[in-house]
Structure 1
Amino acid sequence: MGRLVARTQGRGFYPVGHWLDDWLAEQGARDGELTVFLRHTSASLTVQENADPDVQDDLLDALDRLAPEDAGWRHSMEGPDDMPAHVKTVLTGVSLQIPVVAGRLDLGTWQDVYVIEHRTEPHQRSMTLRYLGT
């Protein structure tokens, strides 16, 4: 088991795959599966394209259309972006299971693992890591 903290600078996609690969190397991982769990309710995890940043911008725009700030949310104690962030997290998820082959994440050529920050302010996002394998 391990822990990784990603510091965000507000709304956006933050690549963490390289940190996960570094952690796997420290563990002496070879072949198995990595579970990554994000310990927050207003940010999420995803595997997504890493080649064209327009994809990430389009996804952020799509999530904003699905959960806009001005939708009349009841929960607003932490600001107008908080409840929409919770909805976006429900839609995108906080846990990933990723195959590990030869000590590295078995991602496709154009893929990376991202923390998606749904809030406008910077945050520290904590992930719990668990590797099972050889």
Structure 2
Amino acid sequence: MRQAMHRLRIATHGKGLVPFTHDVLAWVASTRIKMGVLTLWCRHTSASLTVQENADPTVLEDIKRYFEALVPEAHGRYIHDDEGPDDMPAHLRTMLTQTQLSIPVADGRPVLGTWQGLYLFEHRRHPHQRDIVLHLIGE
């Protein structure tokens, strides 16, 4: 059994979903681990991870609009607003999604479906540098 760990830094441009599937595929291939489990961990409380359709960009736009309606920014609505009106809504959106993913690896590749891609979901208005930790264990 072998293990490998890596950190990806992903630049965001404000709210939205940022694809990073190709970075993960390349790193997993570089480890030469053929079968195992890949864990992805987002080191932030105002951004999250998701597996989502990677073919039709309107899916990503609908997701973004849904979360804007579900957890709106509103002055005076939240107590916690240390970093502005998008601060607490970003934390709530992160709670509703996930900061960790586990994906099986077979034949040296994450087992993703044909239309699945990996995305960082940025919940803040302003650009950020986000860290994703990858941990692969297998043989």
For the criterion TM > 0.5, the same-fold answer is yes
Does residue 19 of the first structure (1) align with residue 27 of the second (2)?
A: no
What does residue 131 of structure 2 align with?
126
Give the secondary-structure state (helix, strand or coil) at the position aligned to 2:113.
coil
Residue segments in structure 2 that go unaligned for 5+ positions in a row: none
Question: Matches of 1:84 and 1:119 in 2, distance apart?
Answer: 9
Instruction: Output one character per residue of 1:79-100: Cα deviation in whole Å (capped at 9) or x when no partner.
Output: 1111101000000010000111
What does residue 37 of structure 2 align with?
33
Instruction: Output one character per residue of 1:30-58: Cα deviation in whole Å (capped at 9) or x when no partner.
Output: 11110000000000000000111111111
What does residue 73 of structure 2 align with?
69
Alignment of 1:1-134 (within 5 A): 1-70=5-74, 72-134=77-139
- C-alpha RMSD of matched pairs (Å): 1.0
Alignment TM-score, normalising by the size of structure 2: 0.93
Give the secondary-structure state (helix, strand or coil) at the position aligned to 1:13.
strand
Question: Matches of 2:53 and 2:32 in 1, distance apart?
Answer: 27
Give the secondary-structure state (helix, strand or coil) at the position aligned to 1:84.
helix
- Give every structure 1 segment of 4 or more consecutive aligned residues whose post-TM-superposition deviation is greater than 3 Å: none
Residue 25 of structure 1 deviates from its aligned partner by 1.5
| Identity score, percent | 50
Question: Matches of 1:83 and 1:57 in 2, distance apart?
Answer: 22
Paired positions, count: 134
Alignment TM-score, normalising by the size of structure 1: 0.96
Question: Matches of 1:29 and 1:124 in 2, distance apart?
Answer: 28
